[in-house]
């Protein structure tokens, strides 16, 4: 399958955590393929989340529509079960009971993770809040979305994470939040298989998100300057990918008629690029798996 064969016209998707980063890139690439995309998150115009960044779900929805899909912004705190239930009820009413794709990409742990800190010295309240913002939100949203999909006996659930294996990721709380979705997808796949609904986990490589660009004090136009900027780990930034790369990975999965063959697997943007042949929007095909293997960084495929 190549870029031209990703056709999701008539499909309905929900991207939970579509405000920025991978979630925004995924929503926009689903729109590029023709899908209707519900873009949810906590940051709306005039009311940012506690992360206090400028990106909003309205911006994302407009970008989805500009790419040829239909973007619908809905403010939802996915830790709140009632808000998620109301979201699924709204989708049910507006889309005649149709929901084909769920992508969980909620994070919000940027300021909560204390790197190079033993777990017993790490703030327990911050560590538990990380679990709320990932594990709790993924479970709540998948619970209600799957109930809708089961009635239609089709669908795809994607749990976005960091990595494809169970290795330690530098912080117990971060590791738990990123490893659990891998098993979550594998377990859901077993329960959902009789209903022809696939569940997978997907990871990007080194993500060139808005926040990462800010961290390296560059823009998308001059991002490669960061490689020689003297900032920690910047030497690996040259193998980074835009959020649209993992977006095209998930759009390719959603358009694959043989998706059930992958149900339960832990997949990567670079591995799916190898299989489906898509490129990043800048024409590159970054391969974090090969790069990590060559530099002894782990998270290989």
In a domain, 299, yes or no: no
For residue 72, what are the β-bridge partners? 38
Q: What is the pLDDT of residue 299?
A: 53
C-beta of residue 299 within 8 angstroms of C-beta of residue 292: yes
Answer yes or no: do 161 and 275 share one domain.
yes
Answer yes or no: do 216 and 184 share one domain.
no
Answer yes or no: do 172 and 222 share one domain.
no
DSSP string, 52-104: --S--HHHHHHHHHHTTSEEEEEE--TT-HHHHHHHHHHHHHHTTT---EEEE
Give the three-class secondary structure for 36: strand
> Which residue shows structure tokens 């808000």?
83
Answer yes or no: do 97 and 226 share one domain.
no
Q: What is the pLDDT of residue 5?
A: 58
> What is the three-state SS of 90-123?
HHHHHCCCCCCEEEECCCCCCCCCCCCCCCCCCC
Q: What is the pLDDT of residue 301?
A: 42
Answer yes or no: do 284 and 191 share one domain.
yes
In a domain, 184, yes or no: yes
CATH code, domain with 193: 3.40.50.720
In a domain, 59, yes or no: yes
Catalytic (active-site) positions: 174
Whole-prediction pTM: 0.93
Answer yes or no: do 79 and 188 share one domain.
yes
Answer yes or no: do 212 and 63 share one domain.
no
Answer yes or no: do 75 and 110 share one domain.
yes
For residue 102, what are the β-bridge partners? 14, 157
For 12, which DSSP code?
E
Among 26, 288, 27, smallest CA distance to 162 is for: 288
In a domain, 173, yes or no: yes
In a domain, 300, yes or no: no
Q: What is the pLDDT of residue 95?
A: 97
Q: What is the pLDDT of residue 227?
A: 83
In a domain, 88, yes or no: yes
* Structural domain span for residue 194: 3-205+244-294
DSSP string, 190-240: HHHGGGTEEEEEEE-SSB--HHHHHHTT--TTSGGGGGGS--TTGGGGGG-
Answer yes or no: do 93 and 168 share one domain.
yes
In a domain, 301, yes or no: no
Answer yes or no: do 138 and 80 share one domain.
yes
Q: What is the pLDDT of residue 298?
A: 65
Q: Supply 260's token pair.
A: 């059930």
Please provide residue 138's backbone torsions phi and psi, each rounded to the nearest 5 degrees.
-65, -40
Answer yes or no: do 48 and 21 share one domain.
yes
For each of the chain's 301 residues, which pLDDT tens digit applies? 334 458 999 999 999 999 989 999 999 999 999 999 999 998 777 777 777 777 899 999 999 999 999 999 999 999 999 999 999 999 999 999 999 999 999 998 888 999 999 999 999 999 999 999 999 999 999 999 999 999 999 999 999 999 999 999 999 999 999 999 999 999 999 999 999 999 999 999 999 888 888 888 898 888 888 887 667 668 888 899 999 999 999 999 999 999 999 999 999 999 999 999 999 999 999 999 999 999 888 654 4
Please state the domain count of the chain. Answer: 2
In a domain, 168, yes or no: yes
Contacts of 250 (CB under 8 A, 6+ apart): 26, 29, 30, 103, 158, 202
Answer yes or no: do 87 and 115 share one domain.
yes
Whole-angstrom Cα distance, residue 235 to residue 205?
Answer: 14
């Amino acid at each position: 399958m190549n870029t031209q064969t990703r056709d999701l016209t008539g499909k309905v998707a929900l991207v939970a955590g579509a405000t920025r980063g991978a979630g925004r890139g995924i929503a926009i690439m689903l729109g590029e393929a023709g899908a209707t995309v519900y873009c949810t998150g906590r940051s709306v115009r005039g009311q940012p989340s506690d992360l206090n960044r400028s990106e909003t779900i309205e911006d994302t929805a407009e970008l989805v529509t500009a790419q040829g899909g239909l973007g619908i912004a809905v403010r939802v705190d996915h830790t709140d079960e009632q808000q998620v239930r109301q979201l699924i009820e709204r989708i049910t009413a507006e889309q005649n009971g149709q929901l084909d794709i769920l992508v969980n990409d909620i994070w919000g742990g940027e300021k909560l993770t204390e790197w190079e800190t033993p777990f017993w010295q790490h703030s327990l309240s911050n560590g538990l809040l990380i679990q709320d913002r990932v594990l709790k939100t993924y479970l709540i949203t998948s619970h209600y979305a799957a109930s809708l999909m089961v009635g239609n006996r089709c669908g795809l659930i994607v749990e976005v994470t960091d990595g494809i294996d169970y290795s330690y990721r530098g912080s117990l709380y971060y590791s738990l939040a990123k490893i659990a979705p891998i098993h979550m997808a594998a377990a859901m796949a077993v329960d959902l298989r009789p209903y022809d609904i696939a569940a997978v986990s997907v990871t990007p490589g080194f993500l060139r998100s808005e926040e990462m660009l800010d961290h390296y004090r560059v823009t998308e136009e001059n991002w490669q300057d960061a490689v020689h900027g003297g900032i920690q780990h910047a030497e690996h930034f040259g193998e980074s990918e835009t959020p649209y790369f993992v977006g095209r990975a998930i759009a390719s999965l959603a358009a694959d008629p043989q998706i059930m063959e992958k149900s339960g697997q832990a997949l990567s943007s670079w591995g799916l690029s190898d299989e489906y042949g898509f490129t990043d929007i800048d024409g590159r095909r970054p391969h974090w798996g090969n790069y990590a293997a060559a530099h002894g960084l782990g998270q290989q495929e």
